[in-house]
Structure 1
Amino acid sequence: MALSHENALTITQLQSDQCENWDTYVEKHEDGAFFHLTGWKTVIEKTFGHPCFYLAAWCEQQLVGVLPLVQVKSLLFGNSLVSTPFCVYGGALADTDAIRLQLENKALDLGKELKVDFVELRDRKPLDNPNYEIFCHHSTYGCELADTPDAILAGVKKKQRAVIRHSLKNELQSVVNKDVGTAYDVYAESVRNLGTPVFHKQFFHNLAEVFGDKLDVLTVLTSEGTPVSSVLSFYYKDEVLPYYGGGLHDARALKSNDFMYYQLMCHARELGCTRYDFGRSKDDSGAAKYKLSYGMPAEPLHYKRALVEATEQPNLSPNNPKYALFINTWKKLPLWLSRLVGPYLSKYLG
């Protein structure tokens, strides 16, 4: 689009009859991610009740840019405007940098109007804006998928490949379906053991309802048919994104999580996926080291923030020492209690 057209740019909030137009734009944009889709607006509003502000840039009735935003406000964790909470990628998509800058600055204006502490844009790539500063300590990991199971396994680094080979001898089996109930049960226990509040079960069901054709669940069963590991994955643009996964107590001994991710790679390739997106992890964390063990390089993320009411960058990381007591206490909660109380906290931890 010629720069002269940008003078006629208008930015509005997404209307319900424009969702298909928005999603088509995301599909066609080279940086459009699964997390830019309007389905997240539906899921977030329905599950958590957070106000959503999906900004659409128009020029002569043509959509030329999008920026999904959600306000997350609580007494405990502050007030923020984020693109997008509960998602690892976000930020603006636009035909040109000039349009992107207008969208990002519109988000900052909205943040000032809402009196948020800060505005956060979860850009995957470095995208400069003098009104924001880079603020991220995470990387994402991924790899291309080889054509056969043997080739996929051969592409894993030697030490982790040996672990996967070991798991293949443990009489495990995998099933793929839409059973988000089992995925949630396994995930809830897994995150409780890590000291993290779990989402409400309805979140998983809402994801399945909205993204049914782009979602499945792979569950690993023991020789007795008992679930031991499970992962809910998204499929978009020939990629698979294992997103909510975990394992029960026996998973470590059985190496069922290693088995699970390998089986998911093979399954996704059978479906025609060509890339495996292992997602975001905090730099130098145990999760990051695990992903590196597969031979997947770290790709630094380039989230950026603009402070509005806050005077310094808030540290909401679970590695923040002030959360240590809470995390250690949470690990000891009965599972039923963590599932009862967790949703009241996790809705603000996106």
Structure 2
Amino acid sequence: MNQLSPTGPSSAELPPAESVSLSDQLARMRRKRKQLSRVIGAAKKNGENVEDLLEQCRLLSLQESNLLQRIQAATAPIASPPPPDRPAAAVDVAPCVQERNEPVTISLLDDAESLAWDTFVGRRPEASSYHLSGWRNICFQAFGHASHYLVAKRGQGIVGVLPLVQLQSILFGNFLVSMPFLNYGGVLAEDNEVRARLIAHAATLTRDLGCSHLELRERVPSESWPMRTEKVSMWLPLPGTEEALWSQIGSKRRAKIKKGQSHGLAFEVGGAELLDDFYRVFSTNMRDLGTPVYAKRFFELVLKEAPGRPELVVGRNTGGKAVAASLVLRHGQRMEVPWASTLRAANSLNANMVLYWTMLCHAFQTGCTTFDFGRSTADASTYHFKKEWGAQVVPLFWHYWMADGSAIPQINPGNPKYKLAIAVWKNLPVMLANRLGPHISRSIP
């Protein structure tokens, strides 16, 4: 998995205590994988189906890789150029030398500290573009949500951040999420002490705001927090040439792409000028799925203000009608597609296959080394679609702090209590669904 390289002076390195803790986790994970391997061997001898066990083994291997990267980031010298997502002015903000014996203080982000916040995020290898401060204004302007961006400091230097957004509604309640509507979030910290202080402050804030729970969408597990693990991201390493990429995706994908191209589908990459076409496809597909759609205003703001150089990809049939569309953005050398849709009427054209091939080529042509297919539920149809392209599973860990100690909330389409509402929504006219949807979707994280 490709990670954004850390930047900044050597004083920003993690202390040895972090590496020891992660090493312990790695050792435990390796023991689990060895035990699982023995179980798989025994099951094979008995002629049992071991596909599920093999998938568990692959997930453990990926988690090991994730931990190894964190250990390497904690001990390696830090010296690389500023990442592309960081605003140019941010490189002029010199990080302060940290004194380890200074106390850690937690405060809310002040607008004047935004550049320093983004500079710190740019130095963290585990960061995503969603950790950058630009999303705070997008969430407020698009949805009206208050944000509580927590900053940890030693002296005057930032040593940790935690972006939090507060969602409130009659339907779903009052809670904090890092980050809602998006794939990644959670704590970025230089060491375990900073992480613990940020989490403790966030829990207190959750209680003080009268929220029912706190949700952190992270890529590293925490043994002390209840968590959901059914969500995964899918990342595809990109080879050095387009020819190698064409060969890498396999004959079945190549045949389907060629079939789609034979139908005369035409794709283009652009910005706000493609928004109407994108939204028409996206909103129709969301209605067909029975899911309330975001307001078009949200995507207008993403294209205008979001970090990661967001772009739209739109595919049209021979009549010029948009039938497939997506939004992509970058973080370092990784391109991600958080939103993609195809009209069901275009399924026979293999429009979805040409859409993803277009995005992969665009990622390669713009210097990316990894393509992030976005989030899926493990073993769902979208999961298998992405896996067929050769994408590797990146486990996600959604951690929860419950104010009253209750069970983890299930605010998702898989909850049986929403089954009837989803069925009704699928039969709404698209125009009506687009009018009602934004009032509901703003409160669904």
The answer to whether the superposition gives a TM-score over 0.5 is yes
Unaligned runs of at least 5 residues, structure 2 = 1-10, 18-98
CA contact (8 A) 1:229 1:248 kept: yes
**Alignment match of 2:199 (pick from 104, 107, 110):** 104
**Match for residue 377 of structure 2 among 277, 282, 307:** 282
SS in 1 for 2:148: strand
How far 1:280 moved relative to its partner?
0.8
Paired residue total? 348
> CA shift at 1:209, angstroms?
1.3
2:174 to 51, 73, 79: 79
The residue aligned with 1:120 is 215
Summarize deviations over 1:197-255 as a string: whole Å, max 9, x none: 00111001011110276110111111222211010111121111112111123321111
Written as runs of structure 1 = structure 2, the 5 A alignment for 1:244-323 is 244-309=339-404, 311-323=406-418
Aligned counterpart, 1:230: 325
Higher-strand-fraction structure = 1
1:189 aligned residue: 284
Cα offset, 1:166, TM superposition: 2.1
Partners of 1:38 and 1:137 in 2: how far apart?
28
Distance 1:251 1:95 in 2: 48
> Equivalent of 2:265, from 149, 159, 172?
172
- Aligned residue type for 1:174: F
- Show the counterpart of 2:245: 152
Residue aligned with 2:294, SS: coil
The CA distance in 2 between the partners of 1:189 and 1:261, in whole Å, is 19
The one-letter amino acid paired with 2:218 is D
Q: Distance in 2 between matches of 1:24 and 1:181?
A: 34
Is the 2:329–2:337 Cα contact (8 Å) retained in structure 1?
A: yes
Deviation, structure 1 residue 159: 3.0
Letter in 1 for 2:397: H
1:262 maps to amino acid: W
Letter in 2 for 1:159: K
User: Residues 305, 220 of structure 1: CA spacing in aligned structure 2 closer, same or farther, 3 A cutoff?
Assistant: same
Give the fraction of aligned pairs with identical amino acids, expressed as a percent.
Answer: 32
Report deviation, 1:153: 2.2
- Identify the residue that residue 316 of structure 2 maps to in structure 1: 221
What's the Cα RMSD here?
Answer: 1.7
- Pick the aligned partner of 1:19 from 110, 114, 127: 114
8 Å CA contact 1:159–1:293 kept in 2: the answer is no
Matched residue, 2:437: 342
> Does the Cα contact within 8 Å between 1:186 and 1:248 map onto a contact in 2?
yes
Residues 1:11 and 1:332: Cα distance change in structure 2 (over 3 Å): same
Q: Distance in 1 between matches of 2:346 and 2:387?
A: 20
Distance in 1 (alpha carbons) for counterparts of 2:392 and 2:185: 21
Q: Deviations over 1:131-163 (max 9, x none)?
A: x22223101101111233332122124433332
1:227 is matched by which residue type in structure 2?
A: A
Secondary structure in 2 matching 1:102: helix
1:69-122, CA deviations, whole angstroms, 9 ceiling, x for partnerless residues?
Answer: 011111111221111101111001011122111111111111111121111111
CA contact (8 A) 2:236 2:370 kept: yes
C-alpha separation between the residues in 1 aligned to 2:382 and 2:256? 16
Question: Cα distance 1:335–1:28, how it changes in 2: closer, same or farther (>3 A)?
Answer: same
Q: Distance in 1 between matches of 2:332 and 2:217?
A: 19
Q: Deviations over 1:291-339 (max 9, x none)?
A: 1121212222111101113622221221111111111110110010000
Higher alpha-carbon deviation: 5-14 or 339-348? 5-14
Query: Distance between the aligned counterparts of 2:123 and 2:207, measured in 1?
Result: 32
Please name the residue that 1:136 is paired with: 229
TM-score for the superposition, normalised by structure 2: 0.75
Judged with a 3 Å threshold, the aligned counterparts in structure 2 of structure 1 residues 242 and 330 are, in CA distance, closer, same or farther, namely same
Deviations 1:15-59 (A, max 9, x none): 111111111111111111011011110100111111100001111
Residue 157 of structure 2 is aligned with which of 62, 73, 79?
A: 62
Please report the TM-score for the alignment, with normalisation by the length of structure 1.
0.95
Q: Whole-Å Cα distance in 1 between the matches of residues 283 and 300 of structure 2?
A: 14
SS in 2 for 1:250: helix
Structure with the larger helix share: 2
The DSSP-based 3-state class of the residue aligned with 1:309 is coil
Q: Is the 8 A contact 2:308 2:329 kept in 1?
A: no
Q: Is the 8 A contact 1:6 1:99 kept in 2?
A: no
Considering only CA atoms, is the larger Rg found in Structure 1 or Structure 2? Answer: 2
Unmatched 5+ stretches in structure 1: none
Equivalent residues of 2:138, 2:306 under 8 A apart? no
Q: What is residue 20 of structure 2 aligned with on the other side?
A: none
